[in-house]
Amino acid sequence: MQLHRPHEYQPEHDVHRITLYNTVAKEHQHRDLKKRLYLHMDMNCFYAQVEQRAYNLYGLPLAMGGWRKPDGTPRGIVATASYEARALGIETAMSAYEAWQICPYLIFMQIDYARYQGISRELYSILDRFSPDVEKYSMDEYFMDVSFLLKKSRKEIAEYGQRLKNAIYEKLGLVCSVGIATSKTYAKLASGRRKPNGLLLVMNADDAAEHLFPLSLKKVWGIGSRRFAKLNSRGLSTIADAFRSGPGVFQKLFGEMQGKLFYEIVTGRDRAKVLDNKNHVPDEVSYMHTFSDWTTDADQVKGEIVRGIRNVCYRLRGYGRRARKWVFNLRYQDVNWQGDSVVFSTPGYTNLDDYVMHACLPIAMNMVEAALGAGERLRGVGLHTVEMIHSNQVELFFQEKENLLNLHRATDLINNVYGQNTVERAASRFGVPGKTHFVERS
């Protein structure tokens, strides 16, 4: 069971990751053809469900991610919504104002990542008792390898899934949907067909034909809007169409190897592994913050940039990585919410705030001043890495100063034990005013 110890880094603090890796990848496939059984567990409207339980809001329409200004005007974006709100037409990514127009009595709450991460750890501890192979796909989605059930009857497999659902409800008071199938892809699709609080087994071709064949190919891993458009131009729009076509169309559109893999995934023949991602390190570390309102104050934006640098560098130290090539993003408040970005480099590979700020701030603040001079209103900042290496690699022409290393080690230790904002730079206190950071908005 994975538990957090107080002195350890928390690189995923305040980070919500929809996926942890590129699922459609050869290295994530078993090489053998051995038959396996997978379970996918998906918490239903996770954020909203947790808040409904916490504040006894059952039966009421709840939107997560929006909030109200002092005059009552809704602001922000709907990150997710309860089923009561969805029934009224409230959708993910809808503006809070639009949602309020649909339902004037809609309850708005801001996302509390720390709470959900704690519950996610509890979920892992429950699932860990049901299978030795558990993969955290996101905070509210998990995969399990349950191949040990292959020789069991259909009834016994269904009872296993129901016991898991019951254990989660008894421990956390939360409901989930469960899909069990012979591929990870189909297990995920199966759980999606039984929302909320359902259970579906896809054990054979007849099950797939009944429950999954009518689904659009857009529902399948790796088939985004562009790939779907290509497939649709060849007359393929559903999983059933893919079965009838065979792999040839996929290989012509996406290449021999990748096309074959896409076809196997779509038809439930993939051999994807249940991955141990406890020590997963992303390909890049990024930070993006959209302010609750626009600003024309350069000093406020500078404070937000410092906060972003601090966030990214802390996470790099937690992952044991350093970077030397970075991208800074500045977002404008215009019709298209556009902005500018710039690539910059530090003197060498580093994960210390000081070096990144020294390289980033002059360039970033020039962009800020230029944008304000052109009459733009600023709405967000972002930062992400481009090149990373393991932190123990030694460079010939650059070495971080020992006093700075010791300062950050001491600061991180204090923050890891007592909370992430126990010790922070004074400049990060000068951010854009307003309820702009996570649970502060509630």
Q: Are strands 378-390 and 286-295 parallel, antiparallel or unpaired?
A: antiparallel
Structure confidence at residue 346 (pLDDT): 95
The letter for the amino acid at 224 is: G
- The single-letter DSSP state of residue 324 is E
Place of tokens 């900042």: 381
Is the CB of residue 260 less than 8 Å from the CB of residue 250?
Answer: yes
Residue in 303, 378, 269 with CA at minimum distance from that of residue 334: 378
- The single-letter DSSP state of residue 420 is T
Region of 197 on the Ramachandran plot (φ > 0 left; ψ -120 to 50 alpha; else beta): left
Structure confidence at residue 21 (pLDDT): 39
pTM: 0.70
Beta-ladder partners of 64: 80, 109
- Quick one: tokens of 198? 């359902």
Is the CB of residue 134 less than 8 Å from the CB of residue 112?
Answer: no
pLDDT in tens, the chain (442 residues): 343 444 577 776 655 443 443 455 566 777 777 899 999 999 999 999 999 999 999 999 999 987 787 888 888 888 889 999 999 999 887 888 899 999 999 999 988 877 888 899 899 999 999 999 999 888 899 999 999 999 999 999 999 999 999 999 999 999 999 999 999 999 999 999 999 999 999 999 999 999 999 999 999 988 888 899 999 999 999 999 999 999 999 999 988 888 888 999 999 988 888 877 665 677 788 888 878 778 999 999 999 999 999 999 999 998 889 999 999 999 886 655 578 999 999 999 999 999 999 999 999 999 999 999 999 999 889 999 998 888 777 677 788 888 888 888 888 888 777 776 777 766 555 666 655 443 433 3
Question: Which residue numbers are catalytic?
Answer: 141
Is the CB of residue 119 less than 8 Å from the CB of residue 101?
Answer: no
Taken in order of first residue, the domains within the chain and their CATH numbers are: 286-441 (3.30.1490.100)
Is the CB of residue 181 less than 8 Å from the CB of residue 190?
Answer: yes
The residues near 286 (Cβ < 8 Å, ≥ 6 apart) are: 312, 382, 383, 384, 385
The alpha carbon of residue 306 and the mean position of all alpha carbons in its chain are separated, in whole angstroms, by 23
